[in-house]
Structure 1
Amino acid sequence: MATSTDPRDAERTQGAEKLGFEPGHVIQEFGFDDDVDYDLRTAIEDLTGTELVDEDFDDVTDGVIVWFRDGEGDLTDTLVDVQTVLDEGGPIWVLTPKPGREGHVGHNDIQEASTTAGLHATSTFPVAPDWSATKLGTRGRGK
C-alpha cells in the first residue's frame, strides 16, 4: 500500500475514519456537486471497500453523507428523504462548507432542520480542508 506524505491526505483519511463507517458499509451520498472534497469521498470508499451510492439508490444503506450549502434548498426535506432507506441507527452526516467559505451553513440552521426532521445534531468537526461534518442522530423513543 502506498503512503503519502501530504498532511492533507492524512487529514482526509482521519476525517473518513471519524465518520464511523466500517468495511462493507453501504454509504448513500446526497448533494454531490463539483465542489465536494473528492479525496474525502475516496477515503470513505477506501475505508468501506464500496463505492458511494447516489440519491436514487433504493436498497438499505448503513450511513448517509449530505453535502449541503447555504441557498440550495430545504435541508429539512433532504433530511427526511435520507432516512427512507437508512438502516435504523445508521449515522447521518451533514457536510457543509467551513465558516468563512461560500455556502457555509450555521450550526443553528442544521439543528433546526434536524429537529424538524425528527433528528438531533450532535458533534461537529472539520473533516476536510474546506468542509465541516455534523453528526445527526435519531431521537430516542420512550418505551
Structure 2
Amino acid sequence: MTSTAGGAFGFTSGLIIQEFGYDDDVDQALREAAEAQTGTELVDEDYEDVADSAIIWWRADDGDVDDLTDLLVDAQANLDGDGLVWVLTPKARTVGAVPAADVEEAARTAGMHATSVAAMGRRWSGIRVSSRRH
C-alpha cells in the first residue's frame, strides 16, 4: 500500500476529472492535489460532457455493493476511452469504512477491475479501478 497526499492519482495536466459523492467530509487537500496535477477544477457529478477520469467518495452509509456498482457504471459511461476511476473510502476501522472486497466486487460486476490500493491523506484509502481493456 502506498501513502500519498494525492500524488498517487497519476493524473496529468489538462485532464477533466469528474467527482462523485462530494460531501462535507471529503479531504480538501486531496481535491486540491488532483486539481494541481491537472491544472483544472474538478467537475461535479452533473457534468454532462466527457471526462478523462473520475474520483468517487464512497462511505458505508452511501449504499451497498449494488449501489456502488451502479455508480461505477455511471462514472465509466462518462469517461473518454480508458480513463481511471479512484474510489476513495474512509480508512479501515474508522466511521464509514468500506471493505476493499466490496469495492472489488462492485468493480468486477461493473466490468472493471481494481488495480491498486493507496492510503490517500490521513483519513481516506483509495482503490484504483480501470476498465478491463487495460
TM-score of the two chains, using structure 1 as the length reference: 0.86
Out of 76, 88, 102, the position equivalent to 1:83 is: 76
Structure 1 residues 72-123: Cα deviation after superposition (integer angstroms, max 9, x where no partner): 1210111011012101111100000001111111111011111111111111
Q: Which residue of 2 aligns with 1:100?
A: 93
Return the alpha-carbon distance in structure 2 between the equivalents of residues 18 and 33 of structure 1. Answer: 22
**Number of paired residues?**
129
Query: For the aligned residues, what is the CA RMSD?
Result: 1.4
Out of 123, 127, 130, the position equivalent to 2:123 is: 130
Q: Does 1:67 align with 2:57?
A: yes
Any gaps of 5 or more consecutive residues in structure 2? Answer: none
The within-5 A match list for 1:1-143 is 14-73=4-63, 74-140=67-133
Q: Percent identity?
A: 50
Return the alpha-carbon distance in structure 2 between the equivalents of residues 58 and 34 of structure 1. Answer: 23
Return the alpha-carbon distance in structure 2 between the equivalents of residues 71 and 136 of structure 1. Answer: 21
Return the alpha-carbon distance in structure 2 between the equivalents of residues 103 and 129 of structure 1. Answer: 14
- Greater Rg over alpha carbons, structure: 1
1:137 Cα deviation (Å)?
A: 1.2
User: Higher RCO, 1 or 2 (CA under 8 Å, sep at least 6)?
Assistant: 2
The answer to whether the Cα contact below 8 Å between 2:16 and 2:52 also exists between their aligned partners in 1 is yes
